[in-house]
Amino acid sequence: MYAVIELGAKQYSVKKDDIIQVEKMDAEKDKEILLDKVLLISDENKIEIGQPYLKNAKVSVVVLKDIKDEKKITYKYRRRKAHHFKKGHRQQLTQLLIKKIELG
């Protein structure tokens, strides 16, 4: 069984016991959260698709920890000029453990 959920402006395909990294959430460590923005749930023999979300569908997740992503470097350079610009960024993320996917 898997589900497609929406968190923020992104969509994630998840299964039970998956660990996903999402944009930073304001949640405490080891806290259980119910996500109700479920777009699709697929069982072995049937698929339920929401318009846009499924009613009575919930995904239970546990917050594992807050982490930082790898550093991304942006570098701008203009030829024949004494101009260059280098900047780095590390996105803050939250790790979530998918505990349960339920419909209905």
pLDDT, tens digit, for every residue of 38-73? 999 999 899 999 999 999 999 999 999 999 999 999
Please report, to the nearest 10 degrees, the dihedral formed by the alpha carbons of residues 24, 29, 31, 34 taken in order. Answer: 20
- Distance CA(47)–CA(102), nearest Å, equals 13
Torsion 22-27-28-34 (CA) sign: negative
pTM, 2 dp: 0.85
103 DSSP assignment: E
- Distance CA(13)–CA(90), nearest Å, equals 24
